[in-house]
Structure 1
Amino acid sequence: MTASANQSSQVILRTNGVSKSFGKFKALSNVSAEFNRGAITSIIGPNGAGKSTYFNVLSGAFAPSAGRVEFEGRDVTNVPQHQFAHMGIAKSFQITNVFPLLTTRENVRVGLQAFVSRFDMWRPRAKLPGLVEKADELLALVGLWDRRERLAKELAHGEQRALEIGMALAANPRLLLLDEPTAGMSPEETRVMMDLIVKLAKERTVILVEHKMKLVMGISDRILVLHHGELLAQGTPAEVRQNDQVKRVYLGQREH
């Protein structure tokens, strides 16, 4: 294998010159970046930097106005969002999205059933053997096995976020996209989520949008910094921390 081919195989996701406009407003401008397989990459930036827009482009929710998105070497720029899970990409949103009146186990089982039986999500459980066992495996992975019989609405906020990640894992993704996974969490919940993300990254690639600098610097292999819709800097946490432009426009004295 050539050096260039080996380097390419290490890249799971790539954007080339991605831009996104909403009317006359340009939310993203010519963003090119590579995301390495098996790494935790965080996307950071001030409010209005374009983080959420970029996340939505990466996850297929928005088609870019210009540019190209590639997943494992395949052009997925215009692939419908509902096909992403079947390609190996799963996501968890900033706003928790669970079924509050179902138990924790049932929430994950629905996710599994939707993936296994794409066009018949509510097919009787008996016709899809092994779903309860698999659901329990995923609940154990995200630390919720002992809450498996609890209604989702009875879970603490941090537990609901972990449940949503468990539902995303139902598709057995190679790439997991997390949008502000610690939003609204207490310091203790944040630490639990940070440990979970690190554990999940041992078997899959993780890309997250996050604003808590201490968490980002503590768990990321690589960081992308957006500013006014443009890629301001990228590198390891140490490189980003020492970048003069980043310190001037974003980090400064705000890190805590």
Structure 2
Amino acid sequence: MTAPIMSVADVGKQFGGLVALKGVTTEFGEGQITAIIGPNGAGKSTFFNILSGALRPSSGVLKFRGDDMAGVPQHEYVHRGIARSYQITNIFPNLSVQENVRVAAQAFRSRMNIWSDRTAYHEVDEKAAATLASVGLSGRSATLAKFLAHGQQRALEIAIALVADPALLLLDEPTAGMGPEETREMVTLIEKLAADRTILLVEHKMKMILGLSDRVLVLHHGQLLADGTPKEIQANTEVRRVYLGQNDGYA
């Protein structure tokens, strides 16, 4: 494995009497695409939310580039170099594509000054344009976000996360609700983005995961069941028993 960008040690999460995650210890190599999979109720969403700062672990330690993240508020994660997308598309539907990204860029780079003329923010406009180009949406910059196809809305949400230039990008079911063609386009985008950053994703489409990822983590009943390359995961009898036997693919 390459040098870890993030590590967790004995991480657990309880909600009252419910143990959602128990004793998970692992590292995420810098520059890799790592997928987190598992059956429903396995603890994937809980683990993902802990990694992105949306939830605090009940026990254990989370480190990013060697720094303990205990006590770091979620809004500070993006300034540390961690950004995420959401399972349910999270955009401003009545703003244009360019305005969605520009608002995010402006919020990240500077405090709002009500006395500044909009034309003073050239750097922000340039950043928004470059980010849209990186996800293939330059030609739709003037379109209201609500009129984009579903796959384009997902790409826009990723663009919003990218304005912070994250070293670690977490994608929550990036192909949810997509058909085969949109899924292939998203896979191509993720592969392109992975050239410059580390990517963690939660997904259900096994054919996509096994073809895209450098490494796969399998959770089951809140615990880490397996950790390895796609080939190792495919050959793992216990993983096949609890998960890979389910019918899935690019559809």
Shorter-normalised TM range? over 0.9
Which amino acid in structure 1 is aligned with residue 217 of structure 2? Answer: L
Which amino acid in structure 2 is aligned with residue 12 of structure 1? Answer: I
Which residue does the alignment assign to 1:120? 112
In structure 1, stretches of 5+ residues that fail to align are: 1-6
| Deviation for aligned residue 1:186 | 1.1
Which amino acid in structure 1 is aligned with residue 198 of structure 2? Answer: T
Which amino acid in structure 2 is aligned with residue 24 of structure 1? Answer: G
User: Given the alignment, which residue of 155, 159, 170 partners 1:166?
Assistant: 159
In structure 2, stretches of 5+ residues that fail to align are: none
| Deviation for aligned residue 1:252 | 1.7
1:83 equivalenced with 2:73 (yes/no): no
Which amino acid in structure 1 is aligned with residue 133 of structure 2? Answer: A
Aligned ranges 1:103-142 → 2 under 5 Å: 103-117=96-110, 119-120=111-112, 124-142=117-135
Which residue does the alignment assign to 1:223? 216
Which amino acid in structure 2 is aligned with residue 182 of structure 1? Answer: T
1:156 equivalenced with 2:149 (yes/no): yes
Q: TM-score, normalised by structure 2?
A: 0.96
Aligned length in residues: 248
Which amino acid in structure 1 is aligned with residue 118 of structure 2? Answer: R
User: What is the alpha-carbon distance in structure 2 between the residues aligned to residue 128 and residue 23 of structure 1?
Assistant: 47
Cα distance, 1:28–1:253 mapped onto 2, change above 3 Å: closer
Cα distance, 1:144–1:121 mapped onto 2, change above 3 Å: farther
Which residue does the alignment assign to 2:63? 70
User: Given the alignment, which residue of 172, 175, 183 partners 1:190?
Assistant: 183
User: What is the alpha-carbon distance in structure 1 between the residues aligned to residue 124 and residue 84 of structure 2?
Assistant: 21
Which amino acid in structure 1 is aligned with residue 64 of structure 2? Answer: F
User: What is the alpha-carbon distance in structure 1 between the residues aligned to residue 214 and residue 9 of structure 2?
Assistant: 21
User: What is the alpha-carbon distance in structure 2 between the residues aligned to residue 232 and residue 125 of structure 1?
Assistant: 52
User: What is the alpha-carbon distance in structure 1 between the residues aligned to residue 156 and residue 113 of structure 2?
Assistant: 19
Cα distance, 1:109–1:196 mapped onto 2, change above 3 Å: same
| Deviation for aligned residue 1:133 | 1.9
Which residue does the alignment assign to 2:39? 46
Which residue does the alignment assign to 1:202? 195
Instruction: State the secondary structure of the residue aligned to 1:17.
Output: strand
| Deviation for aligned residue 1:255 | 4.3
| Deviation for aligned residue 1:129 | 2.2
Structure 1 contact 114–121 (Cα < 8 Å) conserved: no
Cα distance, 1:99–1:121 mapped onto 2, change above 3 Å: farther
Cα distance, 1:171–1:44 mapped onto 2, change above 3 Å: same
Instruction: State the secondary structure of the residue aligned to 1:196.
Output: helix
Using the aligned pairs only, state the percent identity: 58
Cα distance, 1:253–1:131 mapped onto 2, change above 3 Å: closer
Q: TM-score, normalised by structure 1?
A: 0.94
| Deviation for aligned residue 1:132 | 1.7
Which amino acid in structure 2 is aligned with residue 71 of structure 1? Answer: F
User: What is the alpha-carbon distance in structure 1 between the residues aligned to residue 112 and residue 76 of structure 2?
Assistant: 15
